[in-house]
Chain A
Amino acid sequence: SAVISQKPSRDICQRGTSLTIQCQVDSQVTMMFWYRQQPGQSLTLIATANQGSEATYESGFVIDKFPISRPNLTFSTLTVSNMSPEDSSIYLCSVEDPDRQGYNEQFFGPGTRLTVL
């Protein structure tokens, strides 16, 4: 199974600033995903990031607010731009990795807990 790390694990930021979150995987994967978990809520998919192409954003999320990079098959970044307190959430990256039967499983990173003041 894929092992995923994220940096930073948590941060406290001022409104109007931007934060870039890094996601590193210990193996090459095609598809990476970014999720947001607002306080007390479930996870919502922000975007899908495939290497070599532009990220695909879900409804309600735009590239200007959440630019994503995917420079290679083991790394991705998500930037939260021009932050407001409403952006306070846990941001998680995930990857698809096949199990022994060839079915894709998604593995999640530990998350980045962001607080915007």
Chain B
Amino acid sequence: AQSVTQLDSHVSVSEGTPVLLRCNYSSSYSPSLFWYVQHPNKGLQLLLKYTSAATLVKGINGFEAEFKKSETSFHLTKPSAHMSDAAEYFCVVSATDSWGKLQFGAGTQVVVTP
């Protein structure tokens, strides 16, 4: 069984300040972890993924995430928020025995203020 918990349903940041989106996971097997972003009225876009290689994963648009097995966490960060980062972010887990099935977190809505 696998699950993912996004600890914040809503995050508000000022433009130019750091962004932190928190995610904890639970998985019986070695998981693959992903962050997806969904802009209003647009499709889902993959930001980055962890697949048992380097624990610090760099993605698109300046985002990165660190896989911490001891804390079962996969938090997403960005050093400096941009107005275009305003969107819904989903932390997603897939276990090696799940045949590609993705388990989505509840999502975190990010608001960026000028």
A contacts, CB < 8 Å to B? 31, 33, 41-45, 48, 92, 94, 96, 101, 103-111
Contact = CB atoms under 8 A, between A and B. Distances in A.
A103 B32 contact: yes
A97 to B, nearest CB: 11
The contact size tier of chain B is: 20 to 34
Contacts of A92: 43-44
Interface of B: 32, 34, 36, 42-44, 46, 49, 51, 53, 90, 99-107
A42 B107 contact: yes
Nearest to A50: B99
A116 B43 CA distance: 21
A106 B93 CA distance: 12
B43 A31 contact: no
Given A42-B106, A42-B107, A103-B49, A110 B43 contact: yes
